[in-house]
Structure 1
Amino acid sequence: MKYNLITLFFLSAIISCSSGDNGEDPIDPIDDTVNNITYDASSEVISNPERGFMHLWSVTSEGSPLNLTTLQNLKNENVTIINRVYYLEAFKDSDLSTAELDLISTDFEMLRTTGIKCVLRFAYNSDPNDTDAPLNIIERHLDQLKPIFVANADVIAFVQAGLIGSWGEWYYTTNNLTTLENKTAVANKLLEVFPKEIKIQVRTPLYKQEIFNYSTPIDATVGYGTSDIARVGFHNDCFLASANDYGTYQNVSAEKSYISNEALFVPTGGETCPPTDVPIASCSTAESEMKLLKWTYLNLDYYGPVLQEWRNNNCFTDFQRKLGYRLLLKSATLKKEATTNSNYLLNAVLQNKGFAPIYNVKNSFLVFKSVTDATMYKKALSFDVRRIAPNTDFELKESISLSGIPADKYELFLKIEDSYETLSERVEYSIQLANSSTWDANTGMNKLLHTLTIN
């Protein structure tokens, strides 16, 4: 077949246009089998577990237990944790009494009933002129307390090492407990009597470095495990109070950098103090420090003028949002249909807008709720929510078996619940994502705003 010049010209033009040589990218066809979702962030102050501002409530030997009504009212303050400090001043040379052990057990029951957790500490006095207990008594008391710790690990968020010196701050001591040998003995005993899932906090970064004889921060290969070194974090009881936070730091910049790295895996928290050689911390200074050191909780009761400064300058509420973790959904790409007994791809991006990660293991599920009769099917996810680091995008991409889920239409939910069976179905202990119109307060689940048809 022969073509004249005009025919060849038109053929050339058609081929050129169809191959995209007109200088523009070809338009991809819309895939109507997929739902591309962009989630709206919420500015709400969220009462998530194991983080945020907390009250410090101490009690003397054989004193009054926690009050149920007072604990119930904490939800009005968006408070989910308390710092419970037990002073054992009556037992410096004897075993703990049955009444003291009953007091502690009763407190844990009250916490569980009201949906609260505690940051725990023990001490023998609150006066630098008073005495503390010798090492053998401390170890004996911890042995007595071990069964209570094991039975109530579910409502213990973290443990401040305590026990040594006034207020349990590892400074003033009348029993020579601040030697490296004795500090190590107390730390090791705490690690022994508390379940391996619970993290212990020491008063300064140098204490941990001395006890474990190291200075390079742990990394993910160690940090997500349960070895002793992976279980020790930090509490600072004079945060923002002086150039070195009343001796919390020796080499300030190096030790802050060290905490910043370790706090991806172990918690930092504490309280402020009356400032000495520095002004009351401004909002910007406080935010910068909490972001650097990954603060997860802060005492709401001390030091008052510092907290008031933040209220006066309108950053207190922002700190309520950001202390600890603040997880939210950013986007998701989800198939609209699937077939029974196939695999379904969960493909979402999460962010952490808080100062810190989550430190305690959680169980996560993709939940399928039938549009027809509200029957729910939970499929466990393997991803570790602790790995959602602050200020990063986290890609959650996981294939889930639909085995056992019958054909129907389903709303999809993400549920992040407590790892302890005693708390797993409690809404108060489930994690609410910081998105608009996604939280189901009746079930403790987060809507993915997607309906899946299983054929």
Structure 2
Amino acid sequence: MRKAILASVAAAILTVTSAASALSASVVSRTFSPSTAVIANPDRGLYHYTETHSRVDGSGYAPLDAAVAARWRTQEGVTLVYRVFYLERFVGTDGLSAAYLSQVRADLAAARAAGVKLVVRFAYSADSSHDAPADRVITHVRALAPVLNANADVIATLQAGFIGRWGEWYYSDNFASDPARPWLLSDADWEARDTVLRTLLEATSPSLFVQVRSPSIKQRLLAGAPSAVAARVGIHDDCFLAGTDDYGTFATSEDRTWLRAQTQTVPMGGETCVVNTPRTQWSSASSELAAYHWSYLNADYRPEVMSSWGAAGLDEVRRRLGYRLRLTTVTLPRAAVAGGTLSGQVGLLNDGYAAPFRARPAKLVLRSADGSYGYAIPLDVRTLAPGVARTTSFTVPVSVRPGAYRVLLSLPDPSPTLAAKPAYAIQLANQGTWDAQTGWNTLGQLDVIAAQP
């Protein structure tokens, strides 16, 4: 009798195992429909402009409004806020007050509360070339660095700033030998600018991207820099489509070829500045936004240029600035064995102008009513170049209890402070896949997880 019972149990185990193996050997492929919606994804898109001042009389500081920024994200799909901090009060003093640093810190906290990131710049004047000498700028950079580093999670990019009117590295009293001809810089001028840029890069976290105003700045000042340093530095073009050279952005014809290559991996953004028909019209804008891999653009300046693109052009810009990743196909087994492994493939296509410039983890999530389990997969979103379809194969452990599980893809922010916040996760541009509560993208349904004997 005992032998008969043992034989029956063994047969039952064999039957369950065989059934699970048969199911796991059966795979299903699913295709996905693209979405045409404007998606509020981080580190990309149109931005809204804000500025604040610290004038000599102590007036002018306008705190970032978290409620307004949150409405921009939820109602307009705008996840970036441009923030210029004018330091008029400190142009003649070496220190920055503790009260001022607290104001900057509070603005960064407001961005986090709103679910947005900031494009940050510091400058000394919005209406003149009156800036600070290099040694004072360096003191201010070092005072600001701890605040910026502690809040690097909500800084999309940090523009080099500080030098010249608007912090745009032009029209400068202290960094140009001939203010009447600010484009003619001496070796001493370049050396002073180099000191500021290198101090900014050395003092701030390696996770912070820094942008400079033109290709020539990076070419000249970072020609011999370590690759890890150069990889942090992107470009901002604040006269996009103006004249034939974007008002000095491109010093030579070779700069355009250089910029096409550079912006495959570093952030590119900026604003338009003047109507320049026909170049500012949509035919040129659409070509150059794609060629130079634009990730962000000022929604507020200049409206005359952007309105000339028409409703269809503006809609394309809202959708395609930066990355726009979507699922094409997913291949999964119909079942997996608890305690075993799960192998499959995920196909993605980038319909945006640029690849994501920030590394972030990619996780396959198995979710049931009892809980969720995440497993890293070898997907680097930075390799998803525009227009290129890429398939990622994965094998992950199935360290779950038996049951039915939904399969999802998670692309969270790399910072531990933001990793669990859906506002900072990548939403794929597909219909019916986004779970706004978790920030995950649904791939399909596993019918059963069979017990491992």
- Whether TM-score is above 0.5 comes out as yes
2:79–2:116 Cα contact (<8 Å) kept? yes
Task: Flag the structure with larger Rg.
Answer: 1
Q: CA deviation at 1:176?
A: 2.6
Aligned pair partner of 2:413 in 406, 415, 418: 418
Q: Is 1:291 aligned to 2:290, yes or no?
A: yes
Measured in 2, the distance between the counterparts of 1:439 and 1:338 equals: 24
Q: Does the aligned pair in 2 maintain the 1:379–1:400 contact within 8 Å?
A: yes
Corresponding residue number in structure 1 for 2:332: 334
Q: Please state if 1:159 is matched with 2:155.
A: no
CA deviation vs aligned residue, 1:351-387 (integer Å, no higher than 9, x gap): 11000111112121100012xx241111122321111
Q: Which range moves more in the overlay, 206-215 or 156-165?
A: 206-215
Cα deviations by residue, 1:398-430 (Å, 9 ceiling, x for unpaired): 21112x212221110001001111111111001
Instruction: Output the amino acid matched with 1:204.
Output: S
Helix, strand or coil at the partner of 2:301: coil
Determine helix, strand or coil for the equivalent of 1:332: strand
Structure 1 residue 119: Cα displacement: 0.5
Question: Is it true that 1:247 corresponds to 2:257 in the alignment?
Answer: no
SS at match of 2:308: helix
| Structure 1 unaligned residues grouped into runs of 5+ | 1-30
TM-score by length of 2: 0.87
- Alignment partner of 1:73 out of 71, 74, 79: 71
1:353-432 alignment runs, 5 A limit: 353-370=351-368, 373-402=369-398, 404-432=399-427
Cα distance, 1:126 vs structure 2:
1.3
Distance 1:241 1:181 in 2: 29
* Worse overlay, 323-332 or 94-103: 94-103
Q: Secondary structure at the match of 1:358?
A: coil
Considering Cα pairs closer than 8 Å and 6+ residues apart, tell me whether 1 or 2 has the greater RCO. Answer: 2
In terms of mean alpha carbon deviation, does 342-351 or 110-119 score higher?
A: 342-351
Give matches, 1:84-233, under 5 Å: 84-94=83-93, 95-128=95-128, 130-176=129-175, 179-213=189-223, 227-233=228-234
Q: Does 1:322 align with 2:317?
A: no
Tell me the CA shift for residue 451 of structure 1: 2.0
Q: Distance in 2 between matches of 1:232 and 1:196?
A: 11
Alignment partners' CA distance in 2, 1:288 and 1:270: 16
One-letter identity of the residue aligned with 2:47: M
Query: Retained in 1: the 8 A contact 2:119–2:156?
Result: yes
- Aligned with 1:302: secondary structure? coil
Is the Cα contact below 8 Å between 1:270 and 1:297 reproduced in 2? yes
Is the partner of 2:346 in helix, strand or coil?
strand
CA distance in 2, matches of 1:176, 1:439: 50
CA RMSD of aligned residues (A): 1.8
Describe the superposition over 1:31-56 as per-residue Cα deviations: whole angstroms up to 9, x where unpaired. 98111111111111100011000011
- For the residues of structure 1 that align with 2:338 and 2:446, how far apart are their CA atoms? 15
* Distance in 1 of aligned mates of 2:263 and 2:339: 42
Indicate conservation of the 8 Å contact 2:275/2:304, yes or no.
no
Q: Is the 8 A contact 1:149 1:193 kept in 2?
A: no
Map Cα deviations across residues 50-91 of structure 1 (whole Å, 9 max, x no partner): 100001111111612111221122121111011100010110
Task: Answer yes or no: is the 8 Å Cα contact 2:69–2:81 preserved in 1.
Answer: no
Q: Which residue of 2 aligns with 1:263?
A: 263
* Whole-angstrom distance in 2 between the partners of 1:118 and 1:36: 40
Question: Could you tell me the percent identity over the aligned residues?
Answer: 37
Q: CA deviation at 1:279?
A: 2.8
Give a deviation string over 1:74-131, Cα, whole Å, max 9, x none.
1211110111000101101211122211110110111011101000100111124x41
Cα distance, 1:212 vs structure 2: 2.0
Q: TM-score if structure 1 supplies the norm length?
A: 0.87
Q: Is the 8 A contact 1:412 1:452 kept in 2?
A: no
Q: What number of residue pairs does the alignment pair up?
A: 409
Partner of 1:238: 239
Aligned partners of 1:283 and 1:313 also within 8 Å: no
Structure 2 Cα separation of the partners of residues 405 and 126 of structure 1: 59
Distance 2:25 2:362 in 1: 29
In the alignment, residue 363 of structure 2 is paired with which amino acid?
F
**Contact persistence 1:202–1:208 (CA under 8 A):** yes
The one-letter code matched in structure 1 to 2:31 is T
TM-superposed CA distance for 1:237, in Å, is: 0.2
The residue number in structure 1 matching 2:17 is none
8 Å CA contact 1:64, 1:103 repeated in 2: no
Write the distance in 2 (CA, Å) between the matches of 1:238 and 1:263. Answer: 17
Whole-Å separation in 2 of the counterparts to 1:50 and 1:98: 30
Residue 25 of structure 2 is aligned to residue 50 of structure 1: no
How far 1:261 moved relative to its partner? 1.0
Please name the residue that 2:30 is paired with.
Answer: 37
- Structure 2: gaps spanning 5 or more residues: 1-23, 177-184
Alpha-carbon distance in structure 2 between the residues aligned to 1:204 and 1:214: 17
Residue 154 of structure 1 and its aligned partner are, at CA, apart by 0.6
- Taking the aligned partners of 1:143 and 1:348, their CA distance within structure 2 comes to 44
Cα deviation for residue 268 of structure 1 reads 0.5
Cα distance in 1 for partners of 2:206, 2:359 equals 12
How far residue 452 of structure 1 moved from its aligned partner, in angstroms, is: 4.8
